[in-house]
Amino acid sequence: MHPEILDHAKTWIEGDPDTETRAELQSLIDSSNTVELRDRMSGMLEFGTAGLRGRVAAGPNRMNRAVVIKTTRGLVDYLIDRHGGLPGAPVVVGFDARPSSRRFAEDTAGVIAAAGIPVAYFPEVTPTPLVAFACKHLDASAAVVVTASHNPPADNGYKVYASNGAQIIPPMDREVSEAIDQVGPANQVPRVESAFRVESELIRTVSPDLLDVYWEEVNLSRPSPETSTMKIVYTPIHGVGGEAISRLFERAGHHGLIPVPEQAAPDGTFPTVAFPNPEEDGALDLAIELAESERADLVIANDPDADRFAAVIPSEGSWRPLTGNEVGVLLGDYVLRHHGDAVRPIVINSIVSSPMLGRIAAHYGAHFERTLTGFKWIANAAMDLEDSGVGEFVFGYEEALGYTIGQTVRDKDGISTALVFADLMAGLRSAGEGVLHRLAQLWELAGIWASAQHSITRSGAEGQKVIQAAIRAVADSPPTSIGEFRVEDFTDYRSGAENRPRWLGAQALIELSLGDSGRILVRPSGTEPKLKIYVDLVTGFTADAQVEQSKLQARAEDLAASFEEMLPT
């Protein structure tokens, strides 16, 4: 075993306040597990996209109490430096249902309070959108939610919101990361022990009426409130959205909600699914089985922290999942169609989401923007545009099942989206229409669109090198054609950021324009060891739109696979 790795591991053990993870790391030393130990000790878990996310285990390159404590102290030091002293506003702390989440959240609250900064925490598991809402509602100096969202059961994460209620962006993420690097051993970081069980003027629970306040804002932002007795099967996939969804639907007058009993209670071990992501095959099988037996009208789902939303509709004797882009354009059209204010509406989607929303926005005279991937950019672009007098932000989405309606939450919000989608569907049913009929009407308005996504997984440090090499290869020698399509333009988002707004800053992203036929984008994932390829194709409207769209979808998927073959992966 390399002496440097061994010394690093022993030093980490000495500074780890948790007996279990100390023993876990020591066992790797005792068994001379060099490969695993090298991976565990290969730097601190990177504080990036929205904070931390990784496997729960011992060592600095994993999620554990020591990493959470050091990260929180770095955040505290940043906040103190930013305010020139202790901020008077609280830091909001929440957590999901994963087995380690409550303890990580309690350590987070303990470090913050020990520094003299007030804490407002959720005493029980809570949806991520409510933590983001509490950050805005309480004028907090920051918020932290311990969650790994839809990651596998072995993972956990640590998401940070800025004082504006949106996920952190540069330079705050970099400055917090630099502050974390300066923090000493975790067991030397001052911390209030058992912070959720002590009496302290600095530590208080978030008021239980917060959901009521949230409901009031959500209700005001509903574009066209409806009531219904539709049978709506709902699954939170063992996540934390069930109580909030049930209460909001009942208040709104949608009385046909049917939770999936096997998945209704929060359980961070996710016993009925291999991967708790509504986009994954099999994740909604139980919901669809229940919908068939109940002859339901709709299946809806949240991911485990309830910030994403998925919908499945009955179609020709089967069940058809709506893609993230389909839900996005349906909601975008719905919001704009019912927007009656004199202020010009603003709609935004991420750059890898369908350009179709831009055409719909143009039809309604709305202002349309696209941003880098990540809802933090959508939220900050919305605030920037409003501050500059462009108009009023009304809707944003990203194709990975993330949506927000209005100003209630400055992040994706699967709870309010579920309610508004139920309104949308109830309104269509009242008019004798269906979701697919409305989608066909939008194709007639904006062209028939098909979107495909293809991922190439390359794990580990060598995998990252391969992914970066693929990006460079496309940038250095962009293709002139791909399959039947000619590449007419090329944009390398790694450069030229000074000529773009901050929400389209420098990023490892390449866009290839196919002219009037669509576009291809390629980028590395921000949270997984993957290179992602996105294809969006468009064609003119025909009378047999559903058949034409199916053909276009197949072409988009073939094109994504063809593009992979051109890459050095």
Cα–Cα distance measured from residue 566 to residue 569, given in angstroms and rounded to the nearest whole number: 9
Helix/strand/coil (H/E/C) assignment for every residue in 316-365: CCEEEECCHHHHHHHHHHHHHHCCCCCCCEEEEEECCCCCHHHHHHHHHC
Tokens matching residue 283 = 């994740």
Q: Which run of H or E residues covers position 137?
A: helix 128-137
Tokens matching residue 243 = 């109580």
Q: Give φ, ψ of 351 to 5 degrees.
A: -65, -25
Residue from 141, 149, 228, 353 carrying the catalytic annotation: 149
Coil/strand/helix, residue 478: coil
Give ∠ CA 249-303-335 in degrees, rounded to 5. 55
For 506, counting Cβ atoms within 10 Å of its Cβ (0-12 exposed, 13-18 middle, 19+ buried), the class is middle
Asked about 451 being catalytic, the answer comes back as: no
Q: What single-letter DSSP state applies at residue 152?
A: -
Which string of DSSP letters, residue by residue, matches 94-135? EE-SSTTHHHHHHHHHHHHHHTT--EEE-SS---HHHHHHHH
> Which of 260, 258, 257, 254 shows the shortest CA–CA distance to 218?
254
Cα–Cα distance measured from residue 344 to residue 393, given in angstroms and rounded to the nearest whole number: 9
Active site (catalytic) residues? 149
